[in-house]
Amino acid sequence: MRIIKEDDYSLDVLKEVSNIGAGNAVTALSKMISGKISMDVPDIKVLDFNEVAEVLGGEEQIIVGIYIGFEEDLQGNMMFALDLDSAQNLSKLLYPRERDSDEFDDMDVSVLSEVGNILASSYVNSLSTLTNLKIAITIPSLAVDMAGAILSVPAIQFGMISDKALMIETMFSQDEDSVSGKFFLLPDLESYDKLLNALGVI
Amino acid sequence: MIDDIVKVGMADLNTAKPPMKLRTLGLGSCVGIILYDNKLKVGGLAHAMLPSSLELKDNKNRAKFVDTSIDQLISDMKEKGANVNNLVAKLAGGAQMFKFTSNSEILNIGERNAKAAREKLSSLNIKLIAEDTGGNFGRTITFNPEDGTLHVRTVGHGEKTI
């Protein structure tokens, strides 16, 4: 089993893979929306567990987490986390409608689950192309709760290999509506070596 | 009053005596373990992420695992003057934040954390007097060593004191 350290070159590889994946995912999303989406270069952060929730406004901040499994040659999960404003802006970009309230409703849940699907598929496609591994995704699961609680899920998975969590931050916007999303790529333990192997790192 | 709160982060632990209180924010699948000497009024709180230090090679961070965090908490509480024979325990957290059919090993980690805590406490003969675990929601918990109460706050699933 590999233990990831901050200066480990395998972390650099994961960063690069994550970066390409996130870029493609946002491109896929912008294709779906009629109108141009501008995107910043994804920012990759290596965080202590205590810092993970801070990035999304603190442990008690209400956020949206979309969690998707991947299977077949590579197993693991990925998570896409958004603050509530970003989640609603994203929902609005994809499905503009009259809103009765600012409450996060069932329609938001289904729009964002679909976003999760699109992002995860394009992410996995680029990963698959890079590695020549066959990867499929599972149905997204969505939760709206405290940031600490939602992010405990990726943190625990990183906790199995490291005392750090790897996070990819992407910002995209259309007009005044901006969306800041955080990706976590979480291969299972056995899949780490497979992934790094397929990429020619080890 | 913010000053009388000792914050405990993820993979972290701490102890407190009145008037200080112990708090951890947004517990999800992690488990919050409270140990309490109800006679000498010394409290301890650990926010553990994984069930067992024996499953991993890199297990230096004792607060990260249920088993070692309980051991560490006991030794820290002794230093604060607690008597091990007086200790009782409370548990909170261990939720399953996302629902899935596959990858169950990872997704039931909350339940495994809570189970590991119960087993460890039982092996040390520490009585578990209250718990609020499971479900699919986060919890912010605050422990008051003055009266031994544990306050649990959620988003949309009410508040309670156990």
Q: How far apart are CA B76 and CA B70, in angstroms?
A: 10
Tally of structural domains, chain B = 1
Chain position carrying tokens 């020549």: A132
Which chain A residues touch B158 with a CB distance below 8 Å? none
Residues of A in contact with B56 (CB under 8 A): 160
Q: Is the pLDDT of residue B133 over 90?
A: yes
Q: Does A41 touch chain B (CB under 8 A)?
A: no
Chain A residues with beta carbon closer than 8 angstroms to that of B136:
143
Which chain B residue is nearest to residue A163, measuring alpha carbons?
Answer: B61
The DSSP line for chain A is -----TT-HHHHHHHHHHHHHHHHHHHHHHHHSSS--EEPPPEEEEEEHHHHTGGGT-TTSEEEEEEEEEEETS-EEEEEEEEHHHHHHHHHHHS----S-SS--HHHHHHHHHHHHHHHHHHHHHHHHHHT--EEEPPPEEEEEEHHHHHHHHHHHHHTT-SEEEEEEEEEEETTEEEEEEEEEEE-HHHHHHHHHHTT--
Per-residue confidence of chain A (202 residues) as pLDDT tens digits? Answer: 344 554 556 566 667 777 777 777 777 777 776 656 666 666 777 888 878 888 888 889 999 999 888 888 888 888 888 888 888 888 887 787 777 777 778 888 888 888 888 878 888 888 888 888 898 888 888 999 999 999 998 888 888 877 777 777 777 776 667 777 788 877 776 777 787 788 776 6
Q: In this complex, is the C-beta atom of A75 within 8 Å of any C-beta atom belonging to chain B?
A: yes
pTM over 0.90: no
For position B80, which CATH number holds? 3.30.1330.200
Radius of gyration of chain A measured on its C-alpha atoms: 16
Residues whose CB falls within 8 Å of the CB of residue B158, separated by 6 or more in sequence, listed in order: none
Whether CATH 3.30.830.10 fits A9-198: no
- For residue B49, which residues of chain A lie inside 8 Å, CB to CB? 49, 152, 155-156, 159
User: How close A152 gets to chain B, by Cα (Å)?
Assistant: 6
Q: How far is B156 from chain A (nearest CA, A)?
A: 9
Query: Closest approach of chain B CAs to the CA of A162, in angstroms?
Result: 8
Mean pLDDT calculated for residue range B119-147: 95
Task: Give the nearest chain B residue to A153 (CA atoms).
Answer: B29
- Chain mean position to CA B162: 13
pLDDT number for residue A37: 65
Residues from chain A that touch B10, judged by Cβ atoms under 8 A, are: 49-50, 52-53, 148, 152, 155
Domain of B131 in residue numbering reads as 5-161
Tell me whether 0.90 is exceeded by the ipTM: no
Mutate to test the interface with A, among B27, B56, B58 (most CBs of A within 10 A): B58
List, as ranges, residues 153-192 from A with C-beta within 8 Å of B.
153, 155-157, 159-160, 162-163, 188
**Could you read off the pLDDT of A12-69 as tens digits, one per residue?**
666 777 777 777 777 777 777 665 666 666 677 788 887 888 888 888 999 999 988 8
Shortest distance between the Cα of A6 and any Cα of chain B, in A, equals 14
Of B9, B95, B100, the CB nearest to A141: B100
For B52-72, what is each residue's pLDDT tens digit? 988 777 677 899 999 999 999
Rounded to an integer, what distance in angstroms lies between the CA atom of residue B119 and that of residue B138?
Answer: 23
